[in-house]
Amino acid sequence: MLEMRQIIEQACLPDRCEVSCPDGTTLTIRLGQGQSLEEGVTLSGVSLQSLNSCRDLVNLVGQLHTLRDGHPAALRAIA
């Protein structure tokens, strides 16, 4: 989990990103604009089982950027 968290957070640089796994099965990811999380998005309910390859992680980061750029300060959930 720690390695996956680091990969996602580094892929979002230079923007601030926080990844947590409160229940051990799904991720909650906050992606900000620059170093602020105030004008960003929160993506919750991302199943760890759906992240099986580097391609899955790249798609997830792309989805985060699309959500943030299209709907600032929005809250999204993906199962």
Dihedral, CA of residue 38, residue 41, residue 47 and residue 53, to nearest 10:
-100
- For the chain, what is the largest distance between any 2 Cα atoms, rounded to a whole number of angstroms? 30
Q: What was the pLDDT predicted at 71?
A: 61
Residue 61: CB atoms within 10 Å: 19
Q: How many domains does the chain have?
A: 1
Q: What was the pLDDT predicted at 73?
A: 45
Task: Give the domain range for residue 48.
Answer: 2-77
Q: What is the pLDDT of residues 29-64, one digit of tens each?
A: 998 888 878 778 889 999 999 999 989 999 999 998
What are the angstrom distances between the C-alpha of 57 and each of 36, 39, 45? 22, 22, 15
